[in-house]
Structure 1
Amino acid sequence: MKKDDAPVRLLQSINKNKKFSGLWRSIDEYRDRERNNWPAWCFLPLNVWHILMVMAEPKFAQKNDSVTLGTINSFSAVLAAIGSWRPTQDIFVFDNEAFEAIAKSDIDAKISVENILHLPAWSIYIKWGKRDYDGFFATLIYEAGESKKYLDLVFLYDNDYNFPKPNFVRIPLQKSLSVYEAINSYKQENIKKQQKIGINSALTEEYFDEINVNDVAVAVSLILYICSESPEIDGITATATINHPRSQK
C-alpha cells in the first residue's frame, strides 16, 4: 500500500475533517457493545451510518426532499465504505490478463449471494484495470430494520491525485438476480418509497439511469473471483475471514 493510493487519501481527508473528530473511536466503542446484534459479515448496519452522517451535518436532518435524501444516502455509503475498510485496509490488484479475462464475464449471469458473503473483510478495495477509475470499494451492508443485505460499490475517480471523487452503486442481495435485475429492483423499491411519502422521484430515476451496468457487472465478477474457494491471490491466507479479518493500524 502507498500513501498516495486513492483510498488512503480518502481516509486521510476524513481523519483531517473536524466534523468527524472522534468518529472512529465512537464507532469502535459502539461495535464493542452492539456487534452481536447484526451479522458478522457487516461492520456497522446501514442506519448507523445514516445517523453518523446526519450528526456530522445536522442541516440534513432539517430537510426531507429527494436531493437531501439522495445526498445522505450517497455520503453515508462512502463513509460506510471507508469506515468498514479502515480496520483491514486490503487492496487487491489484478494483473492485466486476469482483469481482461474476468471483465468479459456474462453480464446476464446471476449474482451468487452466498459467495459474495465470503468477502475476506467487511470492505475491500479493488484496483481498476482500465483508465476509467482508480478502483472501487466493495462493502457488505446490513439494513437492520428490514433484515436486508446489500453489496455497496463505491468507485473512485482519481482526479489527478487530488481528492478522489466517489460514485456509489448499491446492489440488493435478497435473492440471486443478474446485475441489471438487482439494480432495477432497488430502483423500483426506492421509487415506491418516495412516492408513498409524496417525494418527486425524477432525480432517483435519473441517478439509476446513469449507472454503468457493464462496469458494475465487471466489479461483481472481480469480487466473486476473490470470494471463490481457491483464488490465486498473493498474500492471502485461509485465516483471513469475514469473522476474523486482519486488523491494520
Structure 2
Amino acid sequence: MAGALWPKKMKNNIPRPLQALHALTRDYPRMGRILDDFLSNREGLPDWPPYVLMPMGGWYAIASSHLAGGQLLGVDQASEVSRLAAIGAWRYSQGIYRIAPELLQALLDSPLEGTIPTDVLHCLPEWCLYIETPGMIWHGEALYGFWVHLEHDANDGHEELRLFLDAEGGFQAYPLHLGGDLGAAIEGFLTEARRHGAISAQTESDVRGDAEGLSRLLSLILYLCTDAPEIDDTRRPGSRPDHPRPKRVKSGWRLFPAQSPRIWTVGQELAAWLREPTQVSNSCPEGTGRTVRAHLRRAHWHGYWTGPRKGDSPQKFVLRWIHPLIAGGHRDKEDVDGDR
C-alpha cells in the first residue's frame, strides 16, 4: 500500500511535479499515443464518468506495453501503474495548487466530522492536480506535495480517491475506496492497512498515523471541492481551472498536454482575513453582571442538500468550510463566509 516507489533528486529551479513528469515521459515515450488511441476507440468499452481521464486499466496497459511487452506486469512493476495514473493524468493540465499558509494550517487543523458524502469529490477542478504541502512531514521525511485524482473501475463501478505523495524518500501511493461518506473511506483504509500490515512491518501505530495524515490531506482536497473555493491565477486573474478538450487532427482526435505548469493560488483573501490582528474584548455585557471571555471556535465543515426531495432531479450536496471565529471578541460580529 504505502512505500517509496522512486527515490529521486530534484533540481531547485524546476517545480518538483514537472521534474517528475519529465522523468515519466522519458520512461514511457509512447504514453501519449497510447492514451489517444484508448480515448478515441471507446466503442465496446464500459463507460466511465467525465471526472476521470482514463481508468487504471488504461494506465496498466501503458505500463505493460513499455515494461512487459503487453504481458502481465511483475510484482515489482505494479507500482508503476500508480505513478503513471497520477503524473500521466496531471500532464494534461499541470495545475499546481499553492494554498496560502494561514489557510493551509487552518484546513489541516479542521477535523473531518459528520457525514460528508464522497460524491463531493467529483467536483475536483481538474482530472489530476498537485497540492503543495510546505513544512509537512510524512514518516519522518519532508512531504513536498501530492497528486490527487479519482478512479472509476469500468467493470464493477467502484470508485477510489487516489493520493500519490511526493516525499523526500520517494513516491507513496494511497488509494481510498469511496462509496458512502468520507468517514467510511478512512475506516476502509484502516481495515485494508491492518490486513496488509499483518504480512508486513506496519504496526498499528503506523496505520493510525497514516489514517490521521490522510484525513488532514483530505481537508485540503475538500476545500477545492467546496461550493465556491477561492482559486485564482495571478498571471491571468479571473481564470479558473478546467478540463482540456481533445482536438481533431488528421489521424483523429488528440488530447494535447499543457505547455507548462500553471500555479493556482488558493485562499489569498481568506488568508489575509485570518492574518488580521484579533481585537478581543473581555468586558462584560451591560446588565449581565458576568464576564464573557473571548475564545476560538475552530474551523469545521458544513454541508447541506439542495434540490427537490421528490422527482427525477437528483439532489446536490453543497459543502462549505467555516473558518475559525473569535467568539466574544470583535471578529464574531463580522458576517464573513469561509467560501468568500
TM-score after normalising by structure 2: 0.58
Indicate the SS of the match to 2:125: coil
> Does residue 100 of structure 2 align to residue 95 of structure 1?
yes
Deviates more, 1:29-38 or 1:77-86: 29-38
> Does residue 55 of structure 2 align to residue 45 of structure 1?
yes
- 1:129 is matched with which residue? 134
- 1:118 is matched with which residue? 123
- 2:177 is matched with which residue? 172
- 2:335 is matched with which residue? none
Cα pair distance change 1:112/1:62, threshold 3 Å: closer
- 1:226 is matched with which residue? 224
Indicate the SS of the match to 2:171: strand
How far, CA to CA, are the matches of 1:44 and 1:204 in structure 2?
33
Consecutive unaligned residues in structure 2, runs of 5 or more: 1-11, 138-142, 247-255, 260-340
- 2:149 is matched with which residue? 139
Count of matched residue pairs? 226
How far, CA to CA, are the matches of 1:219 and 1:130 in structure 2?
13
How far, CA to CA, are the matches of 1:21 and 1:244 in structure 2?
22
How far, CA to CA, are the matches of 1:25 and 1:143 in structure 2?
22
Q: What code does the residue aligned with 2:187 have?
A: E
- Which of 97, 101, 106 aligns to 2:111? It is 106
1:137–1:153: 8 Å Cα contact kept in structure 2? yes
1:94–1:129: 8 Å Cα contact kept in structure 2? no
How far, CA to CA, are the matches of 1:85 and 1:210 in structure 2?
29
Cα pair distance change 1:42/1:16, threshold 3 Å: same
Cα pair distance change 1:75/1:126, threshold 3 Å: same
- 1:11 is matched with which residue? 21
Indicate the SS of the match to 2:156: coil
How far, CA to CA, are the matches of 1:169 and 1:9 in structure 2?
21
Consecutive unaligned residues in structure 1, runs of 5 or more: 160-164, 195-199
> Does residue 44 of structure 2 align to residue 33 of structure 1?
no
2:126–2:242: 8 Å Cα contact kept in structure 1? yes
Tell me: higher relative CO, structure 1 or 2? Use CA pairs within 8 A at least 6 residues apart.
1
- Which of 55, 76, 87 aligns to 2:65? It is 55
Greater share of helix? 1
Indicate the SS of the match to 1:128: strand
CA deviations 1:115-153 (Å, max 9, x no partner) are: 111001110100003242110001111111211111100
Q: What code does the residue aligned with 2:31 have?
A: L
How far, CA to CA, are the matches of 1:111 and 1:217 in structure 2?
12
CA deviations 1:92-114 (Å, max 9, x no partner) are: 01111001100011145544312
Cα pair distance change 1:131/1:96, threshold 3 Å: same
Q: What code does the residue aligned with 1:181 have?
A: E
Q: What code does the residue aligned with 2:121 have?
A: I
CA deviations 1:70-92 (Å, max 9, x no partner) are: x51x3211210011111001110
The percentage of counterpart residues that share the same residue type is: 21
- Which of 144, 151, 165 aligns to 1:155? It is 165
How far, CA to CA, are the matches of 2:209 and 2:162 in structure 1?
13
Displacement after TM superposition at 1:25 (Å): 1.6
> Does residue 220 of structure 2 align to residue 212 of structure 1?
no
CA deviations 1:45-73 (Å, max 9, x no partner) are: 1222223223322298375xxxx17x51x
CA RMSD of aligned residues (A): 3.3
How far, CA to CA, are the matches of 1:90 and 1:109 in structure 2?
30
Indicate the SS of the match to 1:220: helix
Displacement after TM superposition at 1:174 (Å): 1.5
TM-score after normalising by structure 1: 0.77
How far, CA to CA, are the matches of 1:76 and 1:57 in structure 2?
11
Indicate the SS of the match to 2:258: coil
1:46–1:144: 8 Å Cα contact kept in structure 2? no
Cα pair distance change 1:62/1:143, threshold 3 Å: closer
The structure having more radius of gyration, on CA atoms, is 2
